[in-house]
Each structure stands twice: as C-alpha cells, then as structure tokens.
C-alpha cells in the first residue's frame, strides 16, 4: 500500500464546523480523497480499478450506488471497474480486503481503495438509529435508543462487575486523554482543536442513564464524523508503473477477515472473540508475534472496546487492559504506541472510512510522513497492525503491515 490521503475528519470539535451552515456533500469527500491519492500514483491512467467502503450513505445522505462515483474523481477512471462494499463500521477494511484480493488474483496491479461516510446530516438520536443497522433488527427493537452505546454500556457493566469499576473507569479516562493528545498532533483530526487542560477530569464525568447510558458517558464514545480516506493497493509491477519506490510503500504481510453470527448475542460480554481470532490469524499469516509490532491502529469505537481489544491481542490479561493504558504502555513513547493520530475517539469515525484511515496512518508512520504525530519505529519492530471492527464484534478486518524502508 502507498499514496495514502485523509480528508479532515469533520464534525463537532472542529472550529470550522457549524451545524447551521451548509457542509460538503459525500461527493466532495470522495473526490478530495481520491484525487489526493491519484496525485501520488501518477494519475488515473495508472489505476486499474476502484473500490469504495461505505456503511449507510443511502440513509444518512440518501445516496447509494457509490461505486459509480469513482469516475467522478477523475475522468480517466471512466469505464474502469469499481464497486462499493459494506460491513458496518468495518466497511473501510473490506475495501482494503477487496483491493488486496484483486491484486493477489492478478486482475489488477493498482487499486484505488477509498472509504467514506457523511453522518452529520441528522440529529444524534436519529443517527444512532441509522447506525443501529449494524445490529440485528430483532434486538434493535427492544434495545436502547442509543443502540450501540447501549450495547457497549452493557459490556462495560459486565466488565465492572467481574473486574472492578474504579481502575477500569480510570483506564477509560486515560484512554480519552491519550486519544485527544495524539489528535492534537494531526491537523486532519476532529479533536485537533481541543484545548481542554483537564482531559482526565472531563472523561471521568459520571454517566447519566436518563440522558444517555448507564455505564458510558459521551467522552467514552467515538465521534460523529464526516470524512474520507484513500490509499493505493499495488503489486510490485504497479509500484513500478506509478513510479513509487518500495521504501515509500508498506508491504502487506498478513490479513484476515473474520465474521460472526449477527443474530447471536456475545457469549461473554467481557471478551471480543472475533477480534482475537482475526488478529491471531493475520499475525500467523505474517509469521510474527505481538512483540514485533511497532504500532497498532485499533477500533476504539468506545473506550471499553479499546481496553478489550488490547486484551484480545494479548497485551494484557483479561481484566488488566486498563492498567496498560494508565501506565502509559500505549502512549506514543510507550511499549506499544496505539492510535497515534487519535483513533476513532480522537481523529474521528466516519464509519465507512475508518479502516482505510487506519491503513493510511500506519503507512504515514512507516514512511516518515506523519509530521508532528511521527513516532520512532525501532529497528527490531518493523510491523504494524490495524483492527477494524463492524458491529458488536461481528465483522473484523485485521491487517499486518511491514516497513520496507
């Protein structure tokens, strides 16, 4: 993968955001991200096909058929194959998987993979209902009004009961602080302008069950975001065609797509078994262990998800993930830097775009293009991992990247 590009993650928190003012349409985000990547690929003539990851544009902005927006990016993409893929919040990851499969099947040497979502088009409670489409409808009818915050609040309650509340709640607050501090280093992040001096205190605001959920507050949640990310997926021949040296790309060393039964509830609310399976299989394909990872982009749709994913990956025993965060092990200078531009809570979560954004972030880190967000990549740790999760641990894309330069 090479030539990554992110638009601004747009929504509340950005100084230029005003819900009363007209905002860019979904075609604007597709065009900006696509053109940004095409400029680094040497133009549309070098691209064989395109793929768009998107979750719910047909409801958020009443627009479907997004594959046919690929030629809108550049007339040189007209009549080339393109399509849209969907897997809830893992739609961006599925776009990457689709591109990888085309390259591995020798049907393309250069794929333009793009993820996009525009969500600030409806009030929050209506948006929550739209996003609830990632769950089973029969559960949604009887579920919380804020369906997924409610689901992960239930996971949090079970986690508190089994492993204790005080330390876990403290871990959530430190995760929020880390996310915002990392986002402050990335100009495209939704929390880039956040100047609050007491992030931990803010994150410890007690949940209000009458207004939201029993165990999570709004600072435990990822952002309602508009935005897009794009990246090129290339064979070695594709790199040559685009004039990109190997040192300016990341190698895909392993990947996995794991899916669980949407109609079944989790067997254990304190574990993310599909995440654990996808990560294990991706790292087995790459032939590495977690001690060889230099950085991770994980799907922190909620603070509890971040803690549980760290445990699912094996960085902490179940019930001990909060300590990892509190001790600074996941900080940018810690044992395993995680979400170095803020993740879903700090950078933002344009649902269909998140998986591609994760890939762009690791590409930037491994090629020295992360600007002020750049971390040190140790010589003995040349791999990165992204975890993109759709629904409540139902569709998970895990990708292992290797530094080439």
Q: Phi first, then psi: what are they for 48, rounded to 5°?
A: -90, -35
Average pLDDT, the chain: 97
Specify the CATH number for the domain of residue 314.
Answer: 3.40.47.10
Report how many domains make up the chain: 1
pLDDT digits (tens, 9 = 90+) for 81-129: 999 999 999 999 999 999 999 999 999 999 999 999 999 999 989 999 9
The residues, any chain, with a CB within 8 Å of residue 47's CB and separated by 6 or more, are 38, 41, 76, 77, 80, 110, 111, 112, 232
Return the bridge partners of 297, or none. Answer: 386
Segment 356-360 shows an average pLDDT of 99
Q: Length of the chain in residues, anyone? A: 405
Residue 143 has pLDDT above 90, yes or no: no
> Strands 395-403 and 250-259: what pairing?
antiparallel
> What pLDDT was estimated at residue 140?
80
Q: Which domain holds residue 306?
A: 1-405
> What pLDDT was estimated at residue 323?
98
pTM score above 0.95: yes
The residues, any chain, with a CB within 8 Å of residue 290's CB and separated by 6 or more, are 283, 313, 314, 315, 336
Q: Give the separation between CA 101 and CA 269, rounded to whole angstroms.
A: 33
Q: Give the separation between CA 374 and CA 286, rounded to whole angstroms.
A: 24
User: Band of the pLDDT at 144, cuts 50, 70, 90?
Assistant: confident
Return the bridge partners of 230, or none. Answer: 5, 114
User: Band of the pLDDT at 305, cuts 50, 70, 90?
Assistant: very high
- Which of 100, 159, 186, 174 has the alpha carbon at shortest distance from 374? 186
User: Band of the pLDDT at 5, cuts 50, 70, 90?
Assistant: very high
Q: Give the separation between CA 148 and CA 403, rounded to whole angstroms.
A: 35
Angle at Cα 249 formed by Cα 241 and Cα 49, nearest 5°? Answer: 50
């Amino acid at each position: 993968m090479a030539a990554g590009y992110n638009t601004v993650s747009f929504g509340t928190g950005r100084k230029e955001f005003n819900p009363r003012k007209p905002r860019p349409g979904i075609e604007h985000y597709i065009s900006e991200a696509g053109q940004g990547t095409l400029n680094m690929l040497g133009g549309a003539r070098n691209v064989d096909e395109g793929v768009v990851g998107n979750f719910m544009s047909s409801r958020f902005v009443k627009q479907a058929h997004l594959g046919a927006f690929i030629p809108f990016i550049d007339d040189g993409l007209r009549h080339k194959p393109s399509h849209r893929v969907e897997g809830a919040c893992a739609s961006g990851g599925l776009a990457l998987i689709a591109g990888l499969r085309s390259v591995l099947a020798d049907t393309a040497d250069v794929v333009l993979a793009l993820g996009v979502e525009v969500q600030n088009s409806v009030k929050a409670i209506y948006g929550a209902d739209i996003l609830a489409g990632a769950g089973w409808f029969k559960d949604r009818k009887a579920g919380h009004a804020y369906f997924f915050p409610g689901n992960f609040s239930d996971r949090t309650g079970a986690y508190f009961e089994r492993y204790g509340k005080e330390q876990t709640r403290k871990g959530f607050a430190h995760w929020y602080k880390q996310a915002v501090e990392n986002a402050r280093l990335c100009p495209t992040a939704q929390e880039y302008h956040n100047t609050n001096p007491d992030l931990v205190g803010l994150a410890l605001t007690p949940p209000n069950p009458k207004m939201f959920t029993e165990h999570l507050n709004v600072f435990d949640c990822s952002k309602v975001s508009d935005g897009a990310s794009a990246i090129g997926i290339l064979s070695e021949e594709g790199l040559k065609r685009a004039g990109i040296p190997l040192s300016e790309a990341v190698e895909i060393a392993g990947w996995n797509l794991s899916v669980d039964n949407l109609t079944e509830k989790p067997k254990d609310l304190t574990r993310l078994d599909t995440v654990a399976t996808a990560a294990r299989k991706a790292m087995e394909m790459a032939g590495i262990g977690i001690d060889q990872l230099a950085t991770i982009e994980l799907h922190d749709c909620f603070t509890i998800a971040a803690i549980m994913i760290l445990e699912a990956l094996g960085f902490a025993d179940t019930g001990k993930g909060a300590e990892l965060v509190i001790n600074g092990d996941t900080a940018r200078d810690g044992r395993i830097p995680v979400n170095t531009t803020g993740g879903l809570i700090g950078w933002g979560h344009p649902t269909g775009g998140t998986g591609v954004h994760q890939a762009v972030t690791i590409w930037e880190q491994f090629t020295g293009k992360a600007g002020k967000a750049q971390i040190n990549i140790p010589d003995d740790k040349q791999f990165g991992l992204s975890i993109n999760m759709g629904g409540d641990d139902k569709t998970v894309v895990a990708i292992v990247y290797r530094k080439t330069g």
